[in-house]
A and B are shown apart, each in its own frame.
Chain A
Amino acid sequence: GAGVSQTPSNKVTEKGKYVELRCDPISGHTALYWYRQSLGQGPEFLIYFQGTGAADDSGLPNDRFFAVRPEGSVSTLKIQRTERGDSAVYLCASSPGTAGNEQFFGPGTRLTVL
């Protein structure tokens, strides 16, 4: 079946602009995660959804970052007033939800803030 998809694959924006990154998880997966991967580093946890609710948003770096999952499927990561330091690959992953299940990752969105 279809895997996790993310759109756009690349996003170039100017400092101060607003961006939205979309994630379509695997159908039926109740858990959805966002990670951020900077160049030369491993992914860093941002936020976790179980169903529609953000159960753990402890990884969001500041209040410019926000994510939603209104119907328990598609999720959108929103970044306000982008800064050059926000440039990274944003990864989305989904899993069946139970602890111990592996996460299935999307290809990522490469965000470049000029």
Chain B
Amino acid sequence: AQSVAQPEDQVNVAEGNPLTVKCTYSVSGNPYLFWYVQYPNRGLQFLLKYITGDNLVKGSYGFEAEFNKSQTSFHLKKPSALVSDSALYFCAVSPISGGYNKLIFGAGTRLAVHP
């Protein structure tokens, strides 16, 4: 079965410190990979994606993610966390078939950045 795992329910980090939110996946082939963020009472917002090419992709708000094919991982990172980064983060993968993106989401990781 195809699945996405976000092993941490919550990640706590001090403001100014680097952060990592982990994601691994089990999907056949070479899927497209995405990160979305969900703020309270707001919809999911796209952060970044990996389609092909450089394993390090940069996205919105200073976030980046590193694709590792051998470990089937796509960890989200940011060099210096802000309190305003506190939110719920979802990793999603899309199997490449049919020419569309049927997203399979992880359960989400809550990021708490403390002043």
Chain A residues with a Cβ under 8 A of chain B: 3-4, 31, 33, 35, 40-45, 48, 50, 55-56, 59, 91, 93, 95, 97-108
Contact = CB atoms under 8 A, between A and B. Distances in A.
B15 to A, nearest CB: 26
B42 interface: yes
30 contacts: A31-B100, A31-B101, A33-B101, A40-B107, A40-B108, A42-B92, A43-B44, A43-B103, A44-B105, A48-B100, A48-B102, A55-B98, A56-B98, A56-B100, A93-B44, A95-B101, A97-B100, A98-B99, A99-B32, A99-B98, A99-B100, A100-B101, A101-B101, A103-B101, A103-B103, A105-B36, A105-B43, A106-B43, A107-B42, A107-B43
Q: Which of B98, B100, B108 has the most CB of A within 10 A?
A: B100
Given A43-B103, A103-B101, A104-B46, 7 more contacts: A33-B101, A35-B105, A42-B107, A43-B90, A100-B49, A100-B101, A106-B43
